[in-house]
Structure 1
Amino acid sequence: MTEPVVVFEERATADGGRIGLATLNASRSLNALSLEMIQLLDTRLRQWAEDPAIHAVWLDGAGDKAFCAGGDVVSLVKALKQEEDEGGVRGRHAQEYFTHEYRLDYLLHTYPKPVLVWADGIVMGGGLGLTAGANHRLVTETTRVAMPEITIGLYPDIGASWFLNRMLPGIGAYLGLTGANLNARDALDLGLADHFIPRERKDELLAGICDSHMVEGSENSAEAVIMRNVAELERRDQAPSAQVRPLLDHLQSLTRKARVEDAIAAILEDANEDAWLAANRKRLAAGCPLSARLAWEMLERHRHGSLADAFRDELVASIQCNVLGDFAEGVRALLIDKDQSPRWRHQDVSSISDADLEAMFSPPWHQQPGPLDDL
């Protein structure tokens, strides 16, 4: 019998209410986020939002390696190839996938009940999209957060055009350009996480919440109960050492530039021998030039915009990365053929024409209403 890709459960609370639990159940793929997963989550979350007996929602991932290592990009590329072979409309599956993904992410940002995400292990790309909007983003000693889209010809999407802008100036740009890996302490320092809980305390935390009485509008409301239980188990002193905070001034000096070309040059020419910085330089040097340009451009476009506007713009750019950009080639080189030798369309950022960039923001639905216009 085929295992469900998302396991749903409802656990009783001491007052007769329930906590809704959703577990991504594809541990072999590090819980890569498929379209089916997205649709199942969206449907159940909307049901739970309307159910007065559901006090809060808990999201986690199966296995001990990842909450979610990103979107199911291999399936996206296979669908694009099938569209080409069959002479269909290229990018149709990409439009469906990203529309549903961003709608789910927006739902989490605006959810009417507390949402806890157990962000243990790898949390990348689409996994960060699920995490970013939660009320309680719980990280552990094994948490590894990144937006490494520059390695596959995409760019930091899933609302990152909005939330990376809310970091200290220049830091979001550095993360977007380099795909830097962050640990739990970094995630806390940069506003990508809320609490550090040792992974061995997961069951204890969930049990404590379920054993509580929750009365809406009182000191025993769901939010208050969650906060009390989290506070009892939080151990920030056990978090790994910060990688970003000691380098804040240095990182800002690299990216506080007028042009993306200048920021990239500063990063690549940086002589600092710190191992974390060196790994980031290497990733940028081998990464997709169009992705770097898009990462920079999206942050510029949404510096003062709304989350909904960012998702609408990201939908267009992500579809065009599939149809016009380097996404298929990046995924091929990294995850399908695994030759680690992508053939990017542009030699460097400077060779990307204004027309090339403009095409990435041309809606495939032209003058018709967009799929996310109602957000």
Structure 2
Amino acid sequence: MRFSSFPLICFCLLMAGCSSQPELLPELSIQESKKLQQEQNLPAISLFYRIHSEALSRECEESRQSLASHCQENALDASHYQAGFEGTNLFPLVMLEESGPDYELILTTASFYGPQSEMKAELLLAWRGILLKEYRYSLPLAEGLDSPQQLADQLVSYFVSDALSEGVFGSGYLARTLKSDDYEVDLKAPNQVSNFKLSKRLVYNDPLEGSTLTYQDPDFDNDRIEVSVYPIPTSDLSNLPGIIEDETDKLRKNLTSFAREHSLPPLFMSEDILVNLQVQGREINGYYLDASIESSAEPFYASYFFFIQHDKIVKFTTTFPSSFAMDFVKQALPQMQIPSESPFMSRLRSIN
């Protein structure tokens, strides 16, 4: 069965923690915010109000029994929190009470009014329905002095400051929490192959998307090779040729659609061609194909190689024909160490 998306799982506490003595997020210019967003690879996020928290509801009920104080749950309109997140200029999209983004933040607050007025907040950060971490904050209330938006901004600032310092939106944090592949640590690749130097490593937050390595020839800007490593998107790993055929079929459809949408000249694609390599004393079979668009204005050439290592697809994408790319592939693949199947992928395949 193919994994079209990760199944929603009911909240289970994989990692919990509380934040004490929170720090405010320093004020950043728009340029600084955009730079930080790119460096941290911050995702889209959706905000949800939880009707009640058992702990906060119990405290609220105890407060209501006192003549000197009273309590109100979720006193602020949720739109104030959305505005607070948008005001940081750090997240590409902030949605409210809508599904869509992988990351969700569930908020619950209780405002206590009395001799020591304060707002207590519980924030649950989840990825596709899996709880990553819990945050708790306490903010002093000066009744009539703080506007609802100022209070929401302060809570957002505490959370974002903690989240950035802990790296909870990073792929490494997600890998450790989910026990998925940690490509930052476990994917080994040479820094240079022939004239090509490793110029970029990208690890996707989604465990099903894996990682992409970019190699570039410093003498020729347009000569580039991308090596993508990602889990086989099926539960049945027995039919390896069929798995690669699915990948090449998907590639052909994508190339054809792209050429059609952009009204490009006729696209030529070769048949799948078998290639045999020796990798760490083992014989590895893979397939490759060439694609080209003959044009006097701007000709297009590319080649694509597909191999299977452990439970991963290893895909080479080049900006030139396979006859020039073959040496790179033959040198690079034996030097790579591909992560074996993670507990996360094993569990995922067992339920599909």
**More RCO (CA 8 Å, sep 6+):** 1
Structure of greater Rg? 2
Structure with the larger helix share: 1
TM-score range, shorter chain: under 0.3
With normalisation by structure 2, the TM-score equals 0.25
With normalisation by structure 1, the TM-score equals 0.24
